[in-house]
Amino acid sequence: MPEVGGDAALYVDPSSVESIKNGILEIFCDTNLRENLIKKAKKQREKFTWDNTANKLWESINKCVND
C-alpha cells in the first residue's frame, strides 16, 4: 500500500514467494537500506496520528454541514 508506506517501505509482489523472500533478504543483508527505511518510516508515521485523523474527520463534517 504505497499510500501508507510511501518511500519508507520496500515493496514486493505479495503473490510471489520468491519476491517476498528476496525483499526480506535485501532488508536483512543491506544495512544502509534498512537504516534508510527506518529513518523514512519514522517520518512517514507522523502522517497517521489520531490527531490528524480527528482533524480530517472534523474538516469533512464541517464541509458537509456548511455546503
- Provide the domain limits for residue 41: 2-66
pLDDT value for 1: 86
Residue 2: which H helix or E strand, with range?
helix 2-5
**In this predicted structure, what is the pLDDT of residue 67?**
80
What pLDDT score does 64 carry?
Answer: 94
C-alpha cell at 64: 458537509
Q: Would you say 27 and 8 are in contact if contact means Cβ atoms under 8 Å apart?
A: no
Structural domain total, the chain:
1
CA distance 67 to 63: 6
* pLDDT computed for residue 27 by the predictor: 97
Q: Is-contact 8 40, C-beta < 8 A?
A: yes
Q: What is the pLDDT along the chain (67 residues), one digit of tens a residue?
A: 888 999 999 999 999 999 999 999 999 999 999 999 999 999 999 888 999 999 999 999 999 998 8
> For residues 12 and 23, is the Cβ–Cβ distance under 8 A?
yes
